[in-house]
Structure formats: structure tokens, C-alpha cells
Amino acid sequence: MARIIGGVGCSHIPSVGAAMDNGKTQEPYWKPLFDGYEPAREWMRKANPDVVIVVYNDHAAAFDISLTPMFTIGAAPEFLPADEGYGRRKVPNVRGYPELASHLIESLVFDEFDINTALEMDVDHGLTVPLSVMYGQPREWPCRVIPLAVNVVKYPQPLGRRCYKLGKAIRKAVDEFDEDLTVAIFGTGGMSHQLQGERAGLVNPDFDKAFLDDLSGDVARLTNIGHVEYMREAGSEGIELIMWLVMRGALDDKVHEVYRHYHVPASNTGAGLIILENDQ
């Protein structure tokens, strides 16, 4: 049987990917951030999961304004890095896992989640940057990936509570998958940030720290945060944090924190990273 071996929460900041792609990680601006990624990469090397489910959002790359899909699982054998205006990001193509993806979709639909299926979907920085953060710059990604795209751009985004329940249903589906696989799950995006409007540049370290704390301490508080609280306290784009709740839902009720790293600023954003494992 497949099993979830851990969860990672990780910001997916485009300029973090660009800093790696352009060899700038040792510059003074970036070094403190990247130094903090090292222990996470060490964990990743040891954990070495067969599959990573990456919960992320598309930023008007694969999807456009014509159709806003709510929850979408990629079931293709391969996904290409999206062209976000500078050509496709020069990272390896992402290998999918159609059998597991189809199993997840069936199981989730039977559990009354209304999941869209993507068979062709370019994956943007929302997905590739966390892979870069956690794996560095390998020639091939050492895992297969199931992309799970969440609408966080168009209001109403799914409730945090719904995302958490989706995580629980994913856990059940993974547990039931009839292959001997190790699976990690990444919740990406955030943490607090606002890209738009006169309030652009908002960062709320207190909110972010409390969020990190309560992933292991008080999940019920997090799942009750509503749209307005996210937008007001964590910035209009801080609502991306609901995707971390999918990751959290896929873990046991009791987890412990293996590692965290928090740094301001990375471009316009507060950058956070956390690794959680189930209590034994």
C-alpha cells in the first residue's frame, strides 16, 4: 500500500526560482534565504519519496479568465514547465503518475469532491519553484509528481475547511492505493503577501508565525480562518495558504514539526517553509 511519509509547506515565489536559474543564490540578498533551505533539502534527500503530490495554484498560465477550475488533478504522464513570459523555465519536465492520479480522482469523486481532470497542463512557478526549493537543480526530478491545482485567484476560493477535508480524502485514497509507494505532499504558496493595489507589499510575520505554529498546534483554528481574515491579515494573495491545509489534512491528526524556515523579504513576499511528519 502507498503511504504518506510527510508534508511540506513551501512558498512558491517566482524570483526564488529565477535566483536559482540565474546562479544568484549566493548573493547577499538571497543567501540567507537559500541557506535556510539546506536542512530541508537534506530531509528531502533522506525521505526520497517515490511520488510528490504538489498542491499549488496556476497563475493565469495554464488556465485563463474563460474558465476558472476549482480543484484540478493532472493525470498526464508528463507536464511541461509553463512559459510565463520569458520562455519555459529551464527545469526538468515533470513526470506524472497517471495510475495514481486516476485512482485519486475516482476516490475523491466518490467522496464527493468535484475534481476536474487535466490531461494536458503546463505547470507554472507555483509547482516548479517548490520542487527547486526542495530538490535543488537535479538533471531529472527524482520523484513523480501529481499536480493538484487549486483556484486561489478568483473569489470565492474554496474554504480552508474544504481544503483540509480534501487533504483527508487524499490521505484515504493514498492509503488505499495498491502499490508499495512512498508519497510526500507539498502545500505551496503564501505566506502573507499582497501583490496588488495601494496595499502592495504587505507582510504579516505575526500571522505567518502563528500559522506555522498551529500547523502542529491548533489546526482547528487554521481551518476556521475565512476569506476575509486571510485577505485582511495576510494580504490578498496570502489566501494561498489554504493550499497548505490540503497538505495538513493528508497527515495524521498528530504531527510534529521537523524543520521550519521563515524569511522576509523574498521579492514582495514573506517566504516560509515547514516540514511536518506524523507522530509515531
Partner 1 sequence: MGKLESEYEDIPGTYVFDGKRCIEGFQLNKFCKSLDLEANRAAFRDDPSGYLDKFPMTPEQRKAIEDRDWLGMLQLGGNVYYTFKLAAFDGITMQHIGGAMSGITVDDFRQMMLAGGRSVEGNRSKSEWK
Catalytic positions are 125, 193
**Would the CA dihedral through 119, 124, 127, 131 be positive or negative?**
positive
**Interatomic CA distance for residues 145 and 165, integer angstroms:** 21
Residue 70 binding result from a copy of itself, partner 1, Fe ion, none, given CB thresholds of 5 to 8 Å by partner type? a copy of itself
* Minimal distance, residue 76 CB to a copy of itself, in Å: 9
Residue 117 is a binding residue for a copy of itself (CB under 8 A): yes
**Interatomic CA distance for residues 149 and 55, integer angstroms:** 6
- Cβ proximity to Fe ion: between 111 and 233 the closer is 233
Pinpoint the alpha helices (H) of 137-182.
Answer: 160-176
Residue 25 is a binding residue for partner 1 (CB under 8 A): no
DSSP structure class, residue 157: P
Q: With 0-12 CB in 10 A as exposed, 13-18 as middle and 19+ as buried, what is 193? A: buried
Q: Which helix (H) or strand (E) is 156 found in, with range?
A: none
Residue 189 binding result from Fe ion, partner 1, a copy of itself, none, given CB thresholds of 5 to 8 Å by partner type? Fe ion
Contact 192, 207 (CB under 8 A): yes
Pattern 151-190, Fe ion, x by CB under 5 A: --------------------------------------x-
**Interatomic CA distance for residues 173 and 100, integer angstroms:** 9
Residue 148 binding result from Fe ion, partner 1, a copy of itself, none, given CB thresholds of 5 to 8 Å by partner type? none
* Minimal distance, residue 191 CB to partner 1, in Å: 11
Q: Which residue in this structure is represented by grid cell 508499495? A: 180
- Cβ proximity to a copy of itself: between 1 and 109 the closer is 109
Residue 64 is a binding residue for partner 1 (CB under 8 A): yes
Contact 183, 173 (CB under 8 A): no
Query: Contact positions toward partner 1, by CB under 8 A?
Result: 14-15, 59-61, 64-66, 68, 75-77, 83-86, 98, 101-103, 105-107, 110, 117, 119-120, 153-156, 178, 193-205, 207, 226-228, 231-233, 236, 264-265, 267-268, 270
